[in-house]
Amino acid sequence: MVILILFLLITSLGSVINASPLTACPYCGGFEVPYPLSTNDNCGDKRYKIYCNNHTLKFLSPTGTFYNILKIDQNANKLIIKPPTIHKNTCYSSDLFNGGLVLDENLPFNISTLNTVMLLNCSSNILQSPLNCSSNSICRQFEEKVEEGKACMNTLCCHYLKDSAMNSHKIRLRVGSCTAYTCLVNFKPGDPFETWSYGIELQWVSPY
């Protein structure tokens, strides 16, 4: 009996050791970097590349924009990036001239279905469902109550839930279409302005 238990212990220990060549990356400025995210070639899984720049975790788009990572949920395979800033006294998002948020379709990340996007300073040619461009769209509150949105006032703005019917690799911006955006994670209609959680939630395919 004792021998049997010892045997079981040793074999299960062996399988644990065999199953863990998967090294998580070191902390980045106090931020845990869970597997499979990878800040360098010696850890994580290279397909899940992110950056640790100046003690801050960043996500790089294929168009060359870095987005700060605000939160990582390893169990849900999700991370939240900070929406780009809107340049002062303009209604231009910092990634406007890179076409807005663009993800590489060959990488394992996509935009999750929990994001409510507000498009700002739009031209009327984008008016179409499922965009809500009415005068009570939540984008009006963003423009009226948030300093960053003030320069966007008195132009057309819209919001929409970025669900599975939408392109999950892009939030598109263009001069002559919409020139700025922001985004809320897990927004529910009627949620008061003070409780909004700004971010863009990305999801990754499990590496296993």
DSSP state of 168: T
Which of the stretches 13-21, 30-38, 60-68, 136-144 binds ligand NAG when contact is defined by CB under 6 A? 136-144
**What is d(CA 37, CA 180) in angstroms, rounded to the nearest whole number?**
29
DSSP β-ladder status, 31-33 and 51-53: unpaired
Which of the stretches 4-12, 39-47, 66-74, 89-97 binds ligand NAG when contact is defined by CB under 6 A? 89-97
**What is d(CA 65, CA 94) in angstroms, rounded to the nearest whole number?**
9
- Give least dist CB 130 to ligand NAG, A: 8
- Give least dist CB 15 to ligand NAG, A: 27
Q: How far from the centroid of its chain's Cα atoms is residue 4's Cα?
A: 50
Pair of tokens at residue 190: 């009627």
Which member of 12, 40, 85, 134 binds ligand NAG (CB under 6 A)? 134
Which of the stretches 1-9, 11-19, 93-101, 128-136 binds ligand NAG when contact is defined by CB under 6 A? 128-136
Confirm or reject binding of residue 141 to ligand NAG (CB under 6 A): no
